[in-house]
Amino acid sequence: MAERKPIESWLTDMDGVLIHEGVPIPGAEAFIKKLRESERPFLVLTNNSIYTARDLHARLSRMGLDVPVENIWTSALATAQFLDDQRPGGTAYVIGEAGLTTALHDIGYVLTDHEPDYVVLGETRTYSFEAMTKAVRLINDGARFIATNPDETGPSTEGALPATGAVAALITKATGQKPYFAGKPNPLMMRTGLNAIGAHSETSAMIGDRMDTDVLAGIEAGMETFLVLTGLTTPAQIEKFPYRPSKVVNSIADLVDRI
């Protein structure tokens, strides 16, 4: 195999890599600081579509991680970029929070429940039966079904919560229509992110804590991949997958000297 080119740009997942349950993971602050000092292009990614990039910037700042708004890329932003490319100036019925609705407003989309072009499903802590029923009927009437990400559960201090993928499965069961997922592991999220910072996959790396989303998306986007063991994937689970990361490291602290 041809030797990979040196890494010039970095993409990293947020939860499980930089932070865990609202606390920075040791090494995260040094990693972000060195990235900024080196002036290398980088992005912090998350499949969570609840928050805007500005919200996440403020949240990370409170933890001591100084990540500029323009260096944050969410599944909501990737979804909006996809819809803007596919059908500029369209309409959508949205189930989601400010991160998703703001992203769609920013590309000029009209949010409506009257014959929308799309039903767009994102993360929310207030899924309602009424909203899901409306989504089902709109899809049955011809609206195209889009979802921000396929994660079936999300973390909380009380335990796992149903997430976008689980609700999407309910709507699919009721309509027979599967959504197009814009977020990880769809390499679309990586490629649109790379385009946003003017980077190229052959000289970029993806850091994540999940084999089934972060590493898979990085591999399919043609990037070098690093799996950290501070999140969901354990060493024993790695061997169960038919693909492997380029390298497994204990934590983000092990990658500071790679920048």
Residues assigned a catalytic role: 13, 15
CB neighbours (10 Å) of residue 125? 9
Q: Are 60 and 87 in contact (CB under 8 A)?
A: no
* CA 17 – CA 252 distance, rounded (Å): 6
Q: Is 107 helix (H, G, I), strand (E, B) or coil?
A: coil
- What is the torsional sign of CA 236, 239, 245, 246? positive
Paired tokens of 190: 């990586």
* Radius of gyration from C-alpha coordinates of the chain: 18
Which of 217, 187, 201 minimizes the C-alpha distance to 8? 201
Q: Sheet holding 72-74: strands in order across?
A: 72-74, 42-46, 9-13, 204-208, 224-228, 247-249
